[in-house]
Every structure is written in C-alpha cells, then in structure tokens.
C-alpha cells in the first residue's frame, strides 16, 4: 500500500497496481465492462458508451473523446495521457485513481463519490466537475481549469499550482478545500467556497470579485 504525501498531514493512497501482473487488453472499451488487471494501450474508444467497472488497471494513451459513461466505477486505476475531451460521465465512482498528462477539455464529470484521486499535469479547461461525496483527499497538481465549472462538494480538495482563471464555482460545501498557489483571476462564485483556504497573494486577487458578489459597492 503506497501513499502520496501532500504535506500538512495529508496523503493520498495510490492505486494498487502490479504492473508485472497486467494482461494486455485489445478488446472494445464499450458496452457492459468488467475489466481487472489489464493494460490498455493506445485504444481509440471515441464516442463509445459504457457502464460497469475497471479496476487495478492502466489505460495508456487511450482516446476516450466524447465517451458516455454511466454508473461506472474506476478503482485502483491509472490513466496516462488519456484524452477525455467532451466526454460525458455520470454516476461515476472514483477510488484510488490517478490521472497524469490527460486532456479533458469540455469534460463533463458527475461523480457520485470520489476519494484518493490524484491528477497531475492535466488540462481540464471548460470542464464541468460535480462531485456528490468526497471521501479522503482529491488533489490536482499543475492542472489547468480555465473557464471550468465546479459544483457539488469540494471538501478537502487540493489545488496546487493550478490555473483556475475564469472558473465558476457553485460548491455546496468547500470545507478544507486548499486553493493556495493556484490562479483565481476572473473566477466567480467565490462566496460558495466558504471554508476554503487561500494565501495572502490570492486575497488581493479575489477581493474585488468577493465584494461584488457580496453586493458591496467599491468607490475609489
């Protein structure tokens, strides 16, 4: 059992994957799926629809553009350089999942539950992220969320060196959400982030928008 140390007594359990035991999978990524301990490399599943589960597996350079997933579980799974652009995923459960170098422009993710999720160097511009329940930590490192929309619960989410320029927040809860070191210029819906953490530099960055959302008039 491996953990990523995020500092400040926060850690994320990494996926339990034994690369030596993975079997190559070249079948379709659609329909009713129940895959475990497989390695999927460079598969094109553009526009496919699926439900089911993938566990203890690796998806490398898989094209999931425009896919429609529903009632789908990702357990102990790593997605590397996957393309999730314009995909529509609903009723998704993410548990011990890692995404690295992925592209998800316009990705629509409605997750019923997310826990021990780590994303690094991903591009999620104009995405819509809605999480109903957060278990454990969900962390984004050096990810781009320009003009993205966040809804639902954002408790204990960590955004480190992310670009949230122009993002729209409509969080139902954001206790312990750590936004320090990330860009927030042009972001809206900041009042929904009660309980979140920002740093001194960001205080100046968001002051005008917070005042506007609070209905205050600022005269020079």
Q: Residue 167: which of 120, 205, 111, 220 has the closest Cα?
A: 205
Residue 77 contacts residue 59 (beta carbons within 8 Å): yes
> Which residue ranges make up each domain of the chain?
3-26+37-213
Domain spanning 3-26+37-213, CATH architecture:
3 Solenoid (2.160)
Q: Both ends of the chain: CA-CA distance in Å?
A: 56
SS3 category, 95 = strand
**Residue 32 parent element (H or E):** strand 31-36
Beta strands 38-41 and 149-153, pairing class: unpaired
DSSP collapsed to 3 states, 198-218: CCHHHHHHHHHHHHHHCCCCC
- pLDDT tens track, the chain, 220 positions: 899 999 988 999 999 999 999 999 999 999 999 999 999 999 999 999 999 999 999 999 999 999 999 999 999 999 999 999 999 999 999 999 999 999 999 999 999 999 999 999 999 999 999 999 999 899 999 999 999 999 999 999 999 999 999 999 999 999 999 999 999 999 999 999 999 999 988 888 888 888 888 888 767 6
């Amino acid at each position: 059992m491996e953990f990523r140390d995020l500092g400040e007594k926060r850690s994320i359990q990494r996926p339990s994957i034994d690369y030596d035991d993975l079997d190559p999978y070249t079948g379709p990524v659609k329909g009713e799926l129940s895959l475990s301990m497989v390695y999927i490399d460079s598969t094109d599943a553009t526009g496919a629809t699926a439900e089911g589960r993938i566990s203890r597996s690796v998806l490398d350079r898989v094209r999931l553009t425009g896919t429609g997933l529903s009632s789908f579980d990702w357990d102990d799974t790593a997605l590397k350089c996957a393309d999730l652009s314009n995909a529509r995923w609903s009723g998704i459960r993410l548990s011990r999942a890692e995404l690295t170098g992925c592209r998800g422009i316009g990705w629509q993710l409605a997750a019923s539950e997310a826990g021990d999720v780590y994303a690094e160097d991903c591009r999620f511009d104009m995405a819509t992220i809605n999480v109903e329940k957060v278990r454990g930590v969900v962390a984004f490192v050096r990810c781009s969320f320009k003009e993205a929309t966040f809804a639902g619960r954002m408790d204990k989410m960590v955004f480190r060196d992310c670009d949230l320029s122009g993002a729209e927040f409509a969080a139902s809860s954001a206790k312990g959400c750590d936004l320090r070191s990330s860009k927030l210029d042009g972001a809206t819906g900041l009042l929904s982030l009660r309980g979140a953490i920002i740093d001194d530099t960001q205080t100046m960055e968001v002051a005008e928008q917070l005042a506007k959302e609070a209905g205050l008039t600022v005269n020079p």
